[in-house]
Amino acid sequence: MNEIFLEEKMTHNLLINKIFEQYKAIDKHKITSLFLSSFSSKNLNWRSGLSAYAIMQTFPKHEYTLREDNSLNNAFFEKMSPSDK
């Protein structure tokens, strides 16, 4: 399975496109086999692929665009704690 290598600055739309490329390339049989094998091997990392695959089955392909009126975004940003900014 290919890995997604994150660039330092990646746009939301580019990341969504990469996620969908990976989803199309995934072998469903391999994902389910790893999940089932995790019970006997106790390798918990092998379980995460099935949940990600299940989420992607209904995940909407979408784009992010900035609103012309940025006041809602700015108001939300101002309420955030400094550690979250």
What are the tens digits of pLDDT across the range 4-39?
A: 565 567 788 999 999 999 999 999 999 999 999 999
Q: How crowded is the C-beta side of 24, counted as CA atoms within 13 Å? A: 7
To 10 degrees, what angle do helices 48-58 and 28-41 make?
150
82 pLDDT tier (thresholds 50, 70, 90): confident
Cα-to-chain-centroid distance, residue 53: 10
Structure token pair of residue 54? 């299940």
Instruction: Read off the amino acid at residue 44.
Output: L
